[in-house]
Amino acid sequence: MNSNYKIPVPKNEPIKTYAPGSPEKIELKNKLEEMYNKKIEIPLIINGEEVRTGNMGKSICPHDHKHVLAEFHQAGEKEIKDAIEASQKAWMMWSIMPWEERAAIFLRAAELLAGPYRAEMNAATMLCQSKNVYQSEIDSVAELVDFLRYNVYFMQEIYQNQPNNSDGVWNRLEYRPLEGFVYAITPFNFTSIGGNLPTAPAIMGNVSLWKPSRTAVYSNYVFMKILHEAGLPKGVVNFIPGPSSKISDIVLENPNFAGIHFTGSTEVFNMLWKRSAENMPKYKSYPRIVGETGGKDFLVVHKSANPREVATAIVRGAFEYQGQKCSANSRAYLPRGKWNEIWKEIQEEMSRVKMGDVMDFTNFINAVIDKVSFDKISNYIEYAKNSKDADIVWGGKCDDSKGYFVEPTIILTTDPHFKTMEEEIFGPVITFYLYEDDKYSEVLELCNSTSQYALTGGIFATEREAVIQAEHVLRNAAGNFYINDKTTGAVVGHQPFGGARVSGTNDKAGSVFNLLRWTSIRTTKECFLPAKDFVYPFMDEE
Ligand code: NAD
């Protein structure tokens, strides 16, 4: 109040190493042990209160699927309606709260997460989503902290945008929150996205209903506790795990529904869009529909590329977090003339990859998220095994006796339109297609037209001409394009993230562009000396 405050310039949260003997490793190991051995009960959070329904779901460890970490309460019709009502009550106060007060709450949440809650958040994400420590650290801590710090900064940048003025007139833009609530539906694969989708709108003064993924409730709940401790007022974010379609049925019928902030599969997003379109006459305003969805992320390798660098980009890009990143590299076009060299390097790297439990830090690969996913991925692998157009050249074994383990798998196909070159598998599976070195132009066209998705993709080449050609032909094939790098690992504030075509609305999570969707601008013109006569000079004849 009475000051032009400045939000601290955001710095990306440094990633801890968890090297042997480091204090962070000792603390995390203890936390993992403690949380693994202590089953908890997770309530809904509506209007800041814990709510229990007795209709329970289970959070398990995907790498040890008989082990239950928590039982969580699921929302029914009453709780969904209560959450909407609570959000509307909170809106009255939150939508007019001074922005610096809102900012302070989220900046405090960032510090709590980076400090006292770091080990708990990592342990929760490792155990419940089966991430190794590095994958968890870059997601559930670093990226989520970055989202919070950068988004409040972007909020201020938006507010600073003001129009021109003429003599005697002051024009102002006021960045109002939407009139209603935002429905945040979050995926299992990134705890950071879980936290970002309900809070990005809240930073702009909106209220939200947060429906977490069934398989990420355990870690998402840790963030809910952080928000509470940071001082987020009651009802601003309401946490309602539960049956997705029932929740959507009720939410999407409500007149105060003002927007969807979604990340997940293309099919679910299409359904949500369709349902909101059908209900359009019921709404008080046109909803903002923001969704980041699937991908079939590519790497095109030119004959001038360095084989070792290509191999590392593929091993990391395709297999980190078991390929369960929307940006995971799942198809690669390799020049036949370089194949032997690239393949030798890939085999050398893959022979050092270990798979297993997250508690053993030497494992690079852990389990896939659940039985549905395990079956889906195994079916794709089985399909490739039985096809005359493809060979499994690495991995291919699946075993769900203890955990949902799928070996990192490489398929080599002779058909550039082979099923696994086109469809999103969302697992540790990549398909290679070899092209003749002199058919580079054709392969770029092929890559551009093969998939309906356009999320991430990359080119490996040292010849600049080849890079320029790829940038041109693949202009619309990826919302995030990489030159000589893997297709994953976008950093908040550095590579705003999102794809086009059926990969989403491309509103670029973790950027000013995303936050702009959560505001409805009011323009005010104030006239200091109003006119006193309707007559204009042109009305005189002489
Ligand atoms: P999903 O679509 O199965 O689930 C996403 C969310 O939607 C979950 O909370 C789920 O419970 C909910 N949901 C499912 N049916 C629903 C319904 N009828 N009504 C309302 N909500 C419903 O996706 P997932 O398995 O959690 O995540 C993987 C998918 O997410 C992949 O397709 C991946 O590419 C995509 N993804 C995209 C990005 C991106 O930025 N583009 C980031 C992460 C994940």
Backbone angles phi, psi at 290, to 5 degrees: -120, 120
pLDDT, tens digit, for every residue of 144-162?
999 999 999 999 999 999 9
Q: Determine if ligand 1 sits within 6 Å of the CB of residue 426.
A: yes
Of the residues 188, 260, 321, which should be mutated to test ligand 1's pocket, given the most ligand atoms within 8 Å of the CB? 188
Q: What is the pLDDT at residue 395?
A: 98
Residue nearest to atom 18 of ligand 1 (CA): 245
Q: Determine if ligand 1 sits within 6 Å of the CB of residue 198.
A: no
User: What is the pairing mode between strands 40-42 and 64-73?
Assistant: parallel
Q: Determine if ligand 1 sits within 6 Å of the CB of residue 191.
A: no
From the CB of residue 335, how many other CB atoms can be counted at a distance below 10 Å? Answer: 24
Q: Determine if ligand 1 sits within 6 Å of the CB of residue 477.
A: no
User: Nearest to residue 514, comparing CAs of 490, 541, 492, 488?
Assistant: 492
> Which residue shows structure tokens 């936290």?
195
Cα 485 to chain centroid distance, Å, stands at 20
Give me ligand 1 centre to Cα 29, in Å. 30
Residue nearest to atom 28 of ligand 1 (CA): 264
Assigned token pair, 421:
């070159």
Give me ligand 1 centre to Cα 473, in Å. 30
Assigned token pair, 293:
């969805």
Residue 1 has pLDDT above 80, yes or no: no
Residue 139 CA to residue 489 CA, distance in Å, equals 10
Residue 430 CA to residue 412 CA, distance in Å, equals 9
pLDDT, tens digit, for every residue of 388-417?
999 999 999 999 999 999 999 999 999 999
Residue 480 CA to residue 457 CA, distance in Å, equals 7
From the CB of residue 246, how many other CB atoms can be counted at a distance below 10 Å? Answer: 14
Residue 217 has pLDDT above 90, yes or no: yes
Q: How confident is the model at residue 33 (pLDDT cuts 50, 70, 90)?
A: very high
Q: Determine if ligand 1 sits within 6 Å of the CB of residue 187.
A: yes
User: What is the pairing mode between strands 237-239 and 207-211?
Assistant: parallel
Give me ligand 1 centre to Cα 511, in Å. 21
Angle, helices 217-229/118-129, rounded to nearest 10 degrees: 160
Assigned token pair, 30:
């203890």
Give me ligand 1 centre to Cα 454, in Å. 17
Residue 226 CA to residue 195 CA, distance in Å, equals 10
- 137 has catalytic annotation: no
Give me ligand 1 centre to Cα 347, in Å. 33
Q: What is the pLDDT at residue 286?
A: 98
3-state DSSP assignment of residue 405: strand
Backbone angles phi, psi at 238, to 5 degrees: -110, 130
Q: Determine if ligand 1 sits within 6 Å of the CB of residue 496.
A: no
Give me ligand 1 centre to Cα 403, in Å. 22
Asked whether the beta carbons of 261 and 201 are under 8 A apart, the reply is: yes
Q: Determine if ligand 1 sits within 6 Å of the CB of residue 268.
A: yes
From the CB of residue 174, how many other CB atoms can be counted at a distance below 10 Å? Answer: 12
Residue 531 CA to residue 130 CA, distance in Å, equals 69
Specify the pTM.
0.98
Of the residues 138, 186, 213, which should be mutated to test ligand 1's pocket, given the most ligand atoms within 8 Å of the CB? 213
Q: Determine if ligand 1 sits within 6 Å of the CB of residue 265.
A: yes
Q: Annotate 193-257 with DSSP letters as a single string.
A: HHHHHHHHHHHTT-EEEEE--GGGHHHHHHHHHHHHHTTPPTTSEEE--S-HHHHHHHHTT-TTE
Give me ligand 1 centre to Cα 101, in Å. 32
- 292 has catalytic annotation: yes
Q: Determine if ligand 1 sits within 6 Å of the CB of residue 196.
A: no
Asked whether the beta carbons of 292 and 505 are under 8 A apart, the reply is: yes
What type of residue sits at position 229?
E
Give me ligand 1 centre to Cα 286, in Å. 23
Residue nearest to atom 13 of ligand 1 (CA): 244
Asked whether the beta carbons of 509 and 292 are under 8 A apart, the reply is: yes
Which of 61, 326, 398, 447 is catalytic? The answer is 326
Q: Determine if ligand 1 sits within 6 Å of the CB of residue 223.
A: no
HSE at residue 283, side-chain half, CA atoms within 13 A, is: 21
Q: Annotate 332-343 with DSSP letters as a single string.
A: EEEEGGGHHHHH
Assigned token pair, 538:
């042109």
Element (H, E) at 49: strand 49-51
Percent of the chain residues past pLDDT 90, beyond the cut: 99
Assigned token pair, 481:
């394009």
Assigned token pair, 104:
């302070």
Q: Determine if ligand 1 sits within 6 Å of the CB of residue 502.
A: no
Residue 127 has pLDDT above 80, yes or no: yes
Q: How confident is the model at residue 193 (pLDDT cuts 50, 70, 90)?
A: very high
Which of 13, 79, 120, 292 is catalytic? The answer is 292
Mean pLDDT of 321-350: 98
> Which residue shows structure tokens 């493809």?
390
Mean pLDDT of 164-176: 98
Tell me the average pLDDT of the chain. 98
Residue nearest to atom 35 of ligand 1 (CA): 264
Mean pLDDT of 65-78: 98
Assigned token pair, 505:
């609305």
Asked whether the beta carbons of 50 and 219 are under 8 A apart, the reply is: no
Q: Tell me how many degrees the CA angle 57-188-181 measures, rounded to the nearest 5.
A: 85
All domains of the chain in start order, with CATH: 24-55+68-293+504-525 (3.40.605.10), 297-483 (3.40.309.10)
Q: What is the pLDDT at residue 542?
A: 79
What type of residue sits at position 375?
D
Q: Determine if ligand 1 sits within 6 Å of the CB of residue 297.
A: no
User: Nearest to residue 359, comparing CAs of 36, 97, 94?
Assistant: 36
pLDDT, tens digit, for every residue of 246-290?
999 999 999 999 999 999 999 999 999 999 999 999 999 999 999
3-state DSSP assignment of residue 81: helix
Of the residues 189, 253, 262, which should be mutated to test ligand 1's pocket, given the most ligand atoms within 8 Å of the CB? 189
Give me ligand 1 centre to Cα 219, in Å. 16
What type of residue sits at position 153?
Y
